[in-house]
A and B are shown apart, each in its own frame.
Chain A
Amino acid sequence: MAGKGGANPATYSPSPTIQKKKAPLFKEDWVRPDGRGFHQCRPAFFRTGAVNAASGSAYAEFGNTKVIVSVFGPRESKKAMMYSDTGRLNCNVSFTTFATPVRGQGSDHKEYTAMLHKALEGAIILESFPKTTVDVFALVLESSGSDLPVVISCASLALADAGIMMYDLVASVSVSCVSKNLVIDPIFEEENYQDGSLMITCMPSRYEITQLTVTGEWSTPKINEGMQLCLDACAKLAKIMRSCLKEAASDSKE
């Protein structure tokens, strides 16, 4: 190569790191931007059967976070895949181009895809569809914080709608640690200022956890409090999901 990088003025240098400034609203006695209590979730809305072409689908709306999940299959696994006695789960999470305030960034989200797969895999009875694959495609229509928990809960509802055998529904809730407070179901602004986050994905009626993600620095009592908050919220979320499923099933009967 021609130029030596050392004293080249044209090299890219990152702008000096700006100290993360706390917005005035995150001072001592702040209220949440949307006026919720710290331990109050956003109103959740679920509906199944949003996509006609899919075997099962669900739409979820938590505040401004809007997600649509479609489930296809079980269908024949791709030729390239190795033979397997049990079923397979294939997940994909993507964002629309208009999902975030900055336009044109919509694309597949590898990290969420992997996390969604991990969260759901344990809840599906894979033996019930040997050798075949179930595809789960999640599309974030509008991203406004706590995207992954919404995607996971919505996906489990879509799977149930598709009639895939499951051990239990999967509900997911996250909490953020903002200065000294724990805020449940954080929105985008709160996630930006968080010192740490904790997400629990659980099967509420079995009281089992399929995934736990912790980022940032947490003290043991804080973690305990956060987990308890999440588990309580998951149990309540599952109730909403169950009532949605029952409503949809009894509607289709009539």
Chain B
Amino acid sequence: MEEEKEPAMVTPGEVLGTVSEFKPGKGTYVAPHNDTVFASLTGYRRNISPAIDSSDQRPIVEVTGHKAHGPVPQPGSIVIARVTKVMARSASAHIVCVGTKSVREIFNGIIRQQDVRATEIDKVDMHLSFRPGDIVRALVVSLGDARAYFLSTAKNELGVVSAESTAGATMVPVSWTEMQCPLTGQIEQRKVAKMAS
């Protein structure tokens, strides 16, 4: 990684170079009619040297540093969501984080019955997987319909990461389907996420 000494400030529409010189990175775009790389954001221009072993030896030009708009869920992104409603065939959730960034506006997500876990997907009981108020880590599978993004927890590392018991304490995961209340010792059913540590 190599950076310029004094990064220049650019604004949307400023010419950064040509496609033959640079590979367009974040905050830039290419005008197809004249193969020119333009900035699409306000920020500092950075040239990043390509990896030594890559076949493409053009430096990557990026525009970063200034404000970017709030994160927007996209298919493939990992999100943190708060479950708001659990129904027989699906659960609704508010997306609160996309990746590591918190969203500025609320986005609605929906976890369908077939997306809760990877196996025995027809035997899932939604009420034994989530409760309203649970914090869930999920994958955005698609943009969904007009109402909500479609979320999936069908992976080991996805599912409930934090939940409160009926007694009001934060529960401790016991297995991938159970969580226990530290106060009462009561065990509740959840689709628990396997934490990395």
Stretch from A17-25, A37-45, A108-116, A123-131 at the B interface: A123-131
Scan residues 68-118 of chain B and give those whose CB is less than 8 A from a CB of chain A. Answer: 68-70, 72, 74, 104-108
Supplied contacts A76-B106, A168-B13, 20 more A-B pairs, CB within 8 Å:
A73-B69, A74-B69, A75-B106, A76-B105, A83-B145, A83-B146, A125-B29, A130-B72, A130-B74, A160-B11, A163-B67, A166-B12, A167-B12, A203-B13, A205-B14, A242-B11, A249-B42, A249-B65, A249-B66, A252-B67
- Residue pairs across A and B with Cβ atoms less than 8 A apart, 25 shown, are A55-B69, A73-B69, A74-B72, A79-B147, A83-B146, A132-B72, A160-B42, A162-B69, A164-B69, A165-B41, A165-B69, A166-B13, A166-B40, A167-B29, A168-B13, A169-B12, A205-B14, A206-B13, A206-B38, A242-B11, A242-B14, A249-B43, A249-B66, A252-B67, A253-B65
B183 beta carbon closer than 8 Å to chain A: no
Measured between C-beta atoms, what is the minimum distance from A70 to chain B in Å?
14
Contacts of B149 in A (CB 8 A): 131
Cβ contact of A74, chosen from B27, B105, B106, cutoff 8 A: B105
Number of interface residues of B (CB under 8 A): 32
Listed from nearest, the 3 A-B pairs whose CB atoms lie closest are A168-B13, A75-B105, A163-B68
Cβ contact of A167, chosen from B13, B68, B107, cutoff 8 A: B13
Measured between C-beta atoms, what is the minimum distance from A80 to chain B in Å?
8
CA distance A169 to B12 in the complex (A): 6
A13 beta carbon closer than 8 Å to chain B: no
A82 beta carbon closer than 8 Å to chain B: yes
Residues 26-55 of B, flagged 1 when their CB comes within 8 A of A and 0 if not, give 010101000000101111000000000000
Contacts of B172 in A (CB 8 A): none
Number of interface residues of A (CB under 8 A): 43
Known contacts being A249-B42, A249-B66, is A169 close to B13, with CB within 8 Å?
A: yes
| B-to-A contact residues, CB < 8 Å | 9, 11-15, 27, 29, 31, 38, 40-43, 65-70, 72, 74, 104-108, 143, 145-147, 149
Contact at A246–B72, with CB atoms within 8 Å?
no
A85 beta carbon closer than 8 Å to chain B: yes
Contacts of A186 in B (CB 8 A): none
Measured between C-beta atoms, what is the minimum distance from A157 to chain B in Å?
10
Measured between C-beta atoms, what is the minimum distance from B25 to chain A in Å?
13
Cβ contact of A163, chosen from B14, B66, B74, B107, cutoff 8 A: B66
Residues 150-194 of A, flagged 1 when their CB comes within 8 A of B and 0 if not, give 000000000011111111110000000000000000000000000
Contact at A163–B13, with CB atoms within 8 Å?
no
CA distance A201 to B105 in the complex (A): 31
Cβ contact of A76, chosen from B15, B29, B68, B108, cutoff 8 A: B108
Scan residues 125-151 of chain A and give those whose CB is less than 8 A from a CB of chain B. Answer: 125, 128-132, 134
Contacts of A129 in B (CB 8 A): 69, 72
Contacts of B31 in A (CB 8 A): 167, 206
Contacts of A72 in B (CB 8 A): 105
CA distance A79 to B70 in the complex (A): 20
Known contacts being A55-B69, A206-B31, A246-B9, is A165 close to B43, with CB within 8 Å?
A: no
Contacts of A249 in B (CB 8 A): 9, 42-43, 65-66
Contacts of B43 in A (CB 8 A): 249
Contacts of A1 in B (CB 8 A): none
Contact at A82–B146, with CB atoms within 8 Å?
yes
A226 beta carbon closer than 8 Å to chain B: no
CA distance A246 to B15 in the complex (A): 15
